[in-house]
A and B are shown apart, each in its own frame.
Chain A
């Protein structure tokens, strides 16, 4: 167990709406080993996004403990959290969330601005990441000039440009047609196999989930 990169211990989490408690996660325990590719399945509202947000430190669990790479995420301060997140986690969204006024290359460059890398070094990293996702020739394109699949690949390039050990993806194919979705899944698979990234993928797509090494099912806040 000491080898797990993501260690979730008895995490419970609730939301409150008008003083009414809505329990979402109940005593959830989950261990993810390094270089594994976990697909998180479950019906809508089962708490998939919630657990992913907790892993990324967007929110703090009410009970339990989340350790990532031996670091207790819930104990980090806002500032430390931000710094840690920049280095350790890459996040991929359903709606890509590229910044429309920046080009593909600039979008990918964004996280690098938080480092002390020189402009030339940054350019090199950006080029590498974009080539890796197969968009080496689209550097100067703006998001609106790209297809959905390409946009998502830029987003993946942005997630990996800092070379984090962990990639968290929340329904990355949810907005794509099956062909584009497959391309994205192949890309994630490659990143897992070739680069040893630990990937946690939330999806509704059973077919996509088959590409993962482990499948976890979540129902009403519990693993089943």
Chain B
């Protein structure tokens, strides 16, 4: 079959302007298709990565987000003494936190955007080992010092190390910036829980993060909570919580993106059809000759289908290559589940790439189907009457 392959390739080259235009068209559709999937994946990746498998998030019963939740100091104190909490040395891995939204001005446009503010303590870092201070230092407990996530430092006015943010009627010095492997925490600002409570006139925490000695102990914790009437709280694995945060936005990007991509890919499919009809018309004599040599109709059919699939393949590889460059950019938008700004990138996975190739090949092949049928139906004597080729 190798001669077929080179035969098809050479035909593509012989009509290179036409085929190049078609291939570019398909590559653009695949680029958009893959881009949409990468974007959805990026949001998901950012949010899913935010949670850690071993951590448990404690919220007020019924609350669906940290912002809308409340946890009293007494409740936190009870939970902290729970025996199955993992320990690092003496201290239990338990971090009660106050989480609020503030509005900060973005660099460049100056538009206001919501930013999640998380008040905690050194424990906040210990339960989340992936969060590391990369420049500056941790805030001093009890001070008006904050550390900003990488994305906040980059995208917001006065968010960088050494600058001063203003919120809650007070000034806050940025003494450090942190990274967390591209997770959602990088879009947050962290500081001292008590100072934040004071600044916002609150007397209670929002939520707490704890790590169990073994994640399988979660049901036991649940029973413990159910039995204590003072603990009107719910516990969820941190990963599950952040995954649910991604739902709306991911769904929105995917549905809208894929619906429209599906629509205009039909256009590109027609484009491929135009090209393939041209190819068939151009090669009428050739088809007649092949048939005269004893090539069956189905052979001729597969020859042209294969040629269009090849166009689709080349186009989609090109499109994916182009889309992979998107990985070097990042976007930020409001995440409706938290109402706060979230920065994320485009993430290319193997399965997205495979889907992209499949999409491109199917699109082109569909376009090539009718022309291939026409090629197959070519009447030999009629075809041989054509001159040229």
* Residues of chain A at the chain B interface (Cβ within 8 Å): 49-50, 53, 56, 58-59, 78-79, 82-87, 89, 91, 93, 95, 97, 99-102, 106, 109-111, 113-114, 158, 162
Contact = CB atoms under 8 A, between A and B. Distances in A.
27 contacts: A53-B381, A53-B384, A56-B292, A58-B292, A79-B296, A82-B291, A83-B294, A83-B296, A84-B294, A85-B294, A86-B294, A89-B294, A91-B293, A93-B384, A95-B285, A95-B388, A95-B389, A97-B286, A97-B389, A101-B7, A102-B7, A102-B10, A106-B7, A109-B3, A110-B293, A113-B3, A162-B294
Contact of B288 (A84, A97, A110): A97
B14 interface: yes
A111 B293 contact: yes
B290 interface: yes
Given A91-B293, A106-B3, A111-B293, A97 B384 contact: yes
A110 B14 CA distance: 19
Q: SS class of chain B's interface: helix, strand, loop or mixed? A: helix
A99 B14 CA distance: 12
Contact of A99 (B286, B292, B384): B286
Interface string B67-85: 0000000000000000000
Given A53-B380, A97-B286, A100-B389, 6 more contacts: A56-B292, A59-B380, A59-B381, A91-B293, A102-B3, A113-B4
Contacts of B290: 110
Query: Nearest 9 A-B pairs (CB), nearest first?
Result: A86-B294, A101-B10, A58-B380, A97-B289, A82-B296, A85-B294, A91-B292, A53-B381, A111-B293
A89 B251 CA distance: 62
Contacts of B10: 101-102
Interface string B356-389: 0000000000000000000000001100100111
Contacts of A106: 3, 6-7
Nearest to A59: B381
A113 B292 CA distance: 14
Interface string B291-307: 11111110100000000
A101 B11 contact: yes
Contacts of A101: 7, 10-11, 13-14
A79 B298 CA distance: 9
Nearest to B297: A78
B289 to A, nearest CB: 4
Contacts of A86: 293-295
Contacts of B11: 101
Nearest to A102: B7
A25 B170 CA distance: 105
A132 to B, nearest CB: 18
Interface string B3-23: 110110011011000000000
B293 to A, nearest CB: 5
A49 to B, nearest CB: 7
Contacts of A100: 14, 389
A87 B389 contact: no
B289 A99 contact: yes
Contacts of A97: 285-286, 288-289, 384, 389
Nearest to A106: B3
A84 B291 CA distance: 12
A93 B289 contact: yes
Contacts of A99: 7, 286, 289, 389
Interface centre among B285, B295, B388 (most CB of A within 10 A): B295
